[in-house]
Structure 1
């Protein structure tokens, strides 16, 4: 079962992280530019919003994020040529709770060239949902 299959509506509970196949990346060209150096947050960020700093090397994508109820978090995954990211994440909340899960992030290029990610996520506790984040212009980074 792939992560894409697992995140379909009505899918079975998330299997162990080692039980799904990752896609093959045999060609270095991509339809969407690199995620490296991009900063993502909510479409309308405010001071204290969760903001993620993304990095990419070849097909590997990772991010560090924090803000609001998230004390710190990490995302690690792979992307395909269309820019879709399959990843696992773990975050420590400000109340000390540890939250982990997996997500499938599908990009849309906005009219100004920035990227919006629609994220289908499923936590280890079985909860699931959809979130939308988008690339933030530098002047929109929220500051505490």
Structure 2
């Protein structure tokens, strides 16, 4: 799937632990020449940014965020770009915190 993420808005399909991204978080993606970046906010996240690269259907990026309690956190994520049956983009994510303990998986999908 070579579809560009540029200008797409995606949201998690399920909530994570408190203080992390959740179904109220919105990611606005940008893509150009193999580079990706996004701004995100919503739920327990006041402001977040991610930046990285895309090679085929694989994204590799780092993220940093400011939470509603005033704390910051950062981590690393590798995502696979797929498509849901109705044609929207889905990202299957494997992430890990670098500023604290923890890792996991999540799924974000393009909003209609």
Q: TM-score range by the shorter chain?
A: 0.7 to 0.9
Q: Is 2:97 the counterpart of 1:120?
A: no
Instruction: Show the 5 A alignment for 1:1-144.
Output: 31-43=1-13, 49-81=24-56, 83-124=57-98, 125-137=100-112
Matched residue SS, 1:133? strand
**Which is higher, the Rg of structure 1 or of structure 2?**
1
With structure 2 as the length reference, what TM-score do the two structures score? 0.87
Structure with greater proportional helix content: 1
With structure 1 as the length reference, what TM-score do the two structures score? 0.68
Structure with greater proportional strand content: 2
Q: By how many angstroms is 1:49 displaced?
A: 0.1
Matched residue SS, 2:87? coil
Aligned residues: 104
CA-based RMSD of the aligned residues comes to 1.6
What are the ranges of 5 or more consecutive residues in structure 1 without an aligned counterpart?
1-30, 138-144
Matched residue SS, 1:91? strand
What are the ranges of 5 or more consecutive residues in structure 2 without an aligned counterpart?
16-22
